[in-house]
Structure 1
Amino acid sequence: MKTERILLVEDNPDDIFMIKRAFEKAGIVNPVDVVEDGERAIEYLNSYSPVLILLDLKLPRISGFEVLEWIKTREKLRRIPVVVLTSSRNGRDVNRAYDLGANSYIVKPVRFEDLLDLTKHINIYWLMLNEKPEV
């Protein structure tokens, strides 16, 4: 059976640690692959098709917006759900992300308990209930 991987595109080591820890504590068995900038995200996606992409917007080299736009213009990738997971509450960022094809926009919680709750919801909705596209 093929393992459905999750791609986390995040440059903050503390956020990476906390998100991976929350996924572990939530009992999510899907492996989480991490890339720390937009350029590496594109390199990864040229070789792999994860079941879900968690994408920060403020990234080095290539921004999350540019990665999102790139994903949504690729036939092989455009149906993969992209959840923007960022610290920005800026209305322009929210609108731009949706205009570029984001499937969801979530502001990173500050407290670990809230992050754990969020990962449980991501698991239920995006990995269990949501019908996955044919790849």
Structure 2
Amino acid sequence: MLYAILAYHVEADVKSWTAEEDATVMAGLLGVHEKLKGRLGPTARLGDTRNARTLRGPGHGMVLDGPFAETKEQLLGLYMIDCADADEAIAAARDLRRVNPSAVYEIRAIRRYIPGAPFAEMTGADDL
């Protein structure tokens, strides 16, 4: 059986880390990743919550700022999709919503992490 493990943290605390502190945490995580080798799928660090968007509401849906879901909703799935920008990602979420109209889709930029490989260079306002 597969499990998704969602990492929660105080974003302001993480943002306050120096490059060295962040590297230390990432090195520790790499150690855990190595321990999970063969069982670990894609891992990612989500983009800033201030740049997150949520698509909800009837019909075409309304795009709201922020990663907000009502407490009656639970995270039940996720998609990793390569898009040129946030507008393209929102369009993809709208396509998903057309076939699953009762769902709420949170759209977040992510930074993909591949054990042993450095982060790829990123550009744009939604990047970390």
TM-score (norm 1): 0.27
Higher helix share: 1
- Between 1 and 2, higher relative CO (CA 8 Å, sep ≥ 6) is seen in 2
What's the TM-score, normalizing by structure 2?
0.28
